[in-house]
A = this chain, B = another copy of it.
Amino acid sequence: MSAPKKVVLAYSGGLDTSIILKWLQVEYGCEVVTFTADLGQGEELDPARKKAELLGIKPENIYIEDVREEFVRDFVFPMFRANAVYEGLYLLGTSIARPLISKRLVEIAQETGADAIAHGATGKGNDQVRFELSAYALNPDIKVIAPWRLWSLTSRTTLIEWAERNQVPVPKDKRGEAPFSVDANLLHTSSEGKVLEDPAVDAPDYVYQRTVNPEDAPDAPEFIEVGFEKGDAVSINGEAMSPATILTALNEYGRKHGIGRLDLVEGRYVGMKSRGIYETPGGTILLAAHRGIEQITLDRGAAHLKDELMPRYAELIYNGYWFSPEREMLQAAIDLSQTHVEGTVRLKLYKGLASVVGRWSERSLYSEAHVTFEDDAGAYDQKDAAGFIKLNALRLKLLATRDRKLKG
């Protein structure tokens, strides 16, 4: 790869990406464009602008954007239509944010005439894969620079030394090593590494940043109603809200009631297992609610097909294949299934649990006339069941007849 001339960097404003910014300048003598996105990670973005300026980035090369609505509308919600969970439990909070960042990096590269993008993900994790597969899928000629795979600054000490040698301001509290590593956005906060590396040992309380401990949550349950249209949440307690607003509100409910904590050991795409602590307060409520509304509005055939496709779909997102034909094919199937997923779900929130306790819809497929223990006025003829069973049993009977013949 020839040296890049102009690089768009995914820039958080933190120390690590500031060092990367400087390293790109030093290493390649190239122009750097910074992209800082408000994905709902809960940090001020203004400092990022100031730091970028301090490091010599031209004002027109500093991109700071609030992408929360796009994030929820075009990435989180489509994923929740699928009830996607990775390895049975993980709600994919980090995975789903990466393609959006890559998309903007590539677009900004196009706008600014940059020939490369750069990110601060390490060579051990999934995020490098997600960033880069997305970038290449959107621009096959883009160069991707992943300094963590290139430089020799592999210990905290050498990194800080390099920063100081190169006039990158190092805040005092960043000199030492963080006790664990954090990623956050509107959907979740994940923590991993260091104090969490032994999967036998309980995660310390201070790791959790986004939810109260269930023990500290209110002693009385709270009930909310989430409204859906075409499979997406559109209101809480009857109040219509935008996608990001709804997720923000659900996060607050979840935070308060200690909902959405997960301690997981998962299989990374790059091959090893890792342990993460995830907090997905609003997403956990949303998943329960979405399954609740599907229960009455989604046909069994569609629902079962969705359930069978889901693990593959979740794996694709986890592995970084958001912008792939196969993810888009699955999305087309899933989205079609959501046409009538509309109505309201009532949930009980209490000390870590989000439980569906009621659901109703103009489009419900639930038929009290068919299911009732009472007289059904002919809606269902119980005698039909005999034929149904007989024909479904036929092949099993033929098998049993063969077995009997072979034994006898």
- A residues at B contact (CB < 8 Å): 83, 87-89, 122-124, 128-129, 132-133, 136-140, 146, 148-149, 154-155, 181, 193-194, 197-203, 214-215, 219-221, 261, 263-268, 270-275, 291, 295-296, 299-308, 310-312, 315, 321, 323-326, 328-330, 332-337, 340, 346, 350-353, 355-360, 363-368, 370-373, 375, 380-402, 404, 406
- Please state the number of chain copies in the assembly: 4
Q: Inside 8 A of A198's CB, which chain B residues have their CB? A: 368
Most chain B CB atoms below 10 A, which of A315, A357, A385: A385
The reply to whether B357 and A263 form a contact with Cβ atoms under 8 Å apart is yes
Are the C-beta atoms of A373 and B193 separated by less than 8 Å? yes
Distance in Å from the Cβ of A371 to the closest Cβ of chain B? 5
Chain B contacts for A392, CB-based, 8 A: 129, 133, 271, 388
Question: Cα distance A319–B383 when bound, in Å?
Answer: 18
Once A88-B83, A329-B333 are accepted as A-B contacts, the answer to whether A395 and B350 lie under 8 Å apart by CB is no
Closest to A177 in B: B373
Q: CB distance B400 to A136 under 8 Å?
A: yes
Partner of A200, one of B138, B329, B359: B359
B397–A140 touching, CB < 8 Å: yes
| Residues of chain B with a CB closer than 8 A to A364's CB | 199, 402
A282 smallest CB distance to B (angstroms)? 18
A-B contact pairs, 16 of them (CB 8 A): A87-B307, A128-B385, A136-B393, A137-B393, A140-B396, A199-B295, A264-B295, A267-B300, A271-B300, A271-B393, A271-B394, A299-B398, A308-B308, A332-B332, A353-B353, A381-B390
Q: A371-B274, A385-B387 are in contact. Are A402 and B132 (CB under 8 A)?
A: no
In the complex, the answer to whether A148 meets B400 with C-beta atoms within 8 Å is no
Residue of B nearest to A358 (CB): B200
Given A301-B324, A385-B270, A398-B367: A291 touches B136 (CB 8 Å cut-off): no
Q: How far is the CB of A369 from chain B (nearest CB, A)?
A: 9
Instruction: Give the CA-CA distance A137 to B398 in the complex, in Å.
Output: 8
- Pairwise interchain contact A199-B373, C-beta atoms closer than 8 A: no
Inter-subunit contact A325/B351 (CB<8 Å): no
With A132-B393, A382-B122, A393-B133 as given contacts, are A272 and B367 in contact (CB-CB < 8 Å)? yes
With contact pairs A296-B199, A400-B137 given, residues A305 and B330 touching in the complex (Cβ less than 8 Å): yes
A103 → B minimal CB distance (Å):
13
Alpha-carbon distance A149/B390, docked complex (angstroms) = 13
**CB-nearest residue of chain B to A292:** B265
- Are A272 and B394 also in contact (CB < 8 A) when A291-B89, A328-B336, A333-B330 are? yes
Task: Output the least CB separation between A263 and chain B (Å).
Answer: 6
Residues of chain B within 8 A (CB-CB) of A393 are 132-133, 136-137, 271
Partner of A146, one of B122, B332, B351, B386: B386
A384 to B374, CA, bound (A): 26
Inter-chain contacts of A382 with B (CB < 8 A)? 122-124, 148-149
Q: A382-B148, A390-B388 are in contact. Are A360 and B400 (CB under 8 A)?
A: no
Closest beta carbon of chain B to A98's beta carbon, Å: 13
Query: Which of B312, B355, B386 contacts A263 (CB under 8 A)?
Result: B355
Q: Nearest CB to that of A359 among chain B residues? A: B199
Contact assessment for B391 and A271 in the assembled complex, using a CB-CB cutoff below 8 Å: yes
CA gap between A326 and B305 in the complex, in Å: 7
A315 to B312, CA, bound (A): 15
In the bound complex, CA of A197 to CA of B300 (Å): 19
Residues of B within 8 A of A300 (CB): 267-268, 271, 273, 395
Given the complex of chains A and B, what is the CA–CA distance between A88 and B301 in angstroms? Answer: 14
Most buried by B among A268, A307, A387: A387
